[in-house]
Amino acid sequence: MKRKLIVGFLALCSITTVCPSVYASTEHYTDSSVTGADSGWSDWDANWADTAADFTKVSLTPGADDTQLNFAWYSEKGDSDATPVVHFGTDKDNLETFEGTAGDVDQDLTGDKAYEYNHVTVTGLEPETTYYYTVEKNGQQTDVCEYKTQKTDTVKMLYVGDPQIGASKGQTQNGAELTNESGAANTAAENDGFSWNRTLNTALSENPDVNFVISAGDQVNKTGEAKEEEYASYLSADALKSLPVATTIGNHDSLNPDYSYHFNNPNNTENGKTAAGGDYYYSYGKGLFIVLNTNNYNVAEHQNTIEEAVKAYPDAKWRIVTIHQDIYGSGLDHSDTDGMILRTQLTPVFDANDIDVVLQGHDHTYSRSKMLYGDGQTHGKYEFSLNADGTDYDWDHATNVDTGDQIALAPEEGDTDAQTALDAFHEDNNCYTIEDVEGNTVTDPQGILYMTANSASGSKYYELLSTQQDYVAARSQNWLPSYSVITMTDDSFSIDTYQITDDGKAEAIDDTFTIQKSGTDTSADTTDAAETESDDSAN
């Protein structure tokens, strides 16, 4: 109950600081005025005031399965009722009408201007087909856009981390400091939106047959306050008119309902909720994709989501989870503090439900784990509690859920008791077993692959830990935006990762890693351990 109360309280708070960034690089960010000097920055800059003021951009999201497509957009609230209608079909002159739902947008987030959000689901999609669509904004149809479906026997996805539009605030561009003021004055959002657009365009030029994008969270930067110009910049990327994105709720997205207005996620659950929404899941090709809002620390609820999803799609060949916090990462700022805070609880739940891959963000560095599974031992459970004045989490201390003990994550020099407690916390989080496999192609592994994505926009980077953890197989920080390409078939799951150089070239930063399935179930029987963890979490 304590954790639910904390999450509920924070959902009501207006919080400006979510976690410390003492290890964020103050020297490195992607300066769009430099990387875009010959590729559109001047036009983007000239149009920025209009872009920042347009809150009505359409977002596309995967539907409940690959025959569906979800739409969301704002429309200005006028004398007439909202018209949540999408016109969609293969004949642009004879489109079928799909109706959805609408609701009021919190005017505190839009400068007191009244908007309504519109959510519509389109059904009956076929693979490898060209469609056209328009949406209605207050009864007026937008221009026709083209949308192409790809193959579903081979599914190709972009996997990105932390676009975090607006996070470059404080950096220097052309002799001036980037700011995150409201509207067009948010020059950090202007910079980062251009770079996000550039990353998508670069990735798609190399991979035009992508089905959809998976974002591991922190689409925008501001927390607990109005940030519509950041969403406007994020959604202005050229590719997003015809490319669905399965977004994850990051800590910077979590404490406002605007995320839930802008993204029409499928199979929404009541589990793991914060103000932005909760857990959801969907099916695509041979994959079951489960997206958890781990800003809510109630792991019993996340387990319920996973079990519900597995029951709904029992024949999925692959089970992929996306979370924001990187429970197995390698960045200096998060991976051994708030990133791994749920490691001891989530690891056995993932094992018990035969999860194949976990996609993570949050750390603004790249890492790929070895194949990992739980050690079968009993471990403590941890979370973050509210700070003394109740306005934010106490990011300086991890709380032991069972004992209530506060563990200082950066003990003062000479405080031997605090250092001993921190050492014990780190030791307790060694709750994993490294599977003995060789090479970059593994067949029927017992363990799970944990990926951590670097920033897709380059708005903010973190240092790597000075010592690479034993569970990490590869990692990288070259201060460049990056993305991964996932290719999933009936019997293989491969991932390739690239960085984008300042001159716009895509360079591989890791070897291709592939998981193969022969059809024989070799997963470990860790159900008992997971059930024990779940029972403890529910108390």
- Six-digit token pair at 104? 């009021």
- Six-digit token pair at 409? 């994550």
275 alpha carbon, distance to own chain's centre: 16
- Six-digit token pair at 444? 């029927």
Helix residue ranges per DSSP H, 437-526? none
Closest of 307, 385, 390, 392 to residue 350, by C-alpha = 307
Ramachandran quadrant class, 318 (left: phi over 0; alpha: psi -120 to 50; beta: rest): beta
196 alpha carbon, distance to own chain's centre: 14
Closest of 246, 268, 356, 264 to residue 312, by C-alpha = 268
Distances (CA, A) of 374 to 32, 134, 219, 523, 538: 43, 48, 31, 12, 20
Distance CA 34, CA 47 (A): 18
- Whether 459 and 469 have beta carbons less than 8 Å apart is answered as no
Distances (CA, A) of 33 to 40, 192, 368: 9, 10, 31
DSSP letter assigned to residue 335: T
Show pLDDT as tens, one digit a residue, over the chain (539 residues): 334 334 443 433 333 333 444 466 667 999 999 999 999 999 999 999 999 999 999 999 999 999 999 999 999 998 778 899 999 999 999 999 999 999 999 999 999 999 999 999 999 999 999 999 999 998 899 999 999 999 999 999 999 999 999 999 999 999 999 999 999 999 999 999 999 999 999 999 999 999 999 999 999 999 888 999 999 999 999 999 999 999 999 999 998 999 999 999 999 999 999 999 999 999 999 999 999 999 999 999 999 999 999 999 999 999 999 999 999 999 987 888 888 999 999 999 999 999 999 999 999 999 999 999 999 999 999 998 777 766 567 888 999 999 999 999 989 999 999 999 999 999 999 999 999 999 999 999 999 999 999 999 999 999 999 999 999 999 999 999 999 999 999 999 999 999 999 999 999 999 999 999 997 544 444 344 444 444 443 33
Closest of 85, 148, 92 to residue 118, by C-alpha = 85
Q: Would the CA dihedral through 106, 108, 109, 111 be positive or negative?
A: positive
What type of residue is 49? A
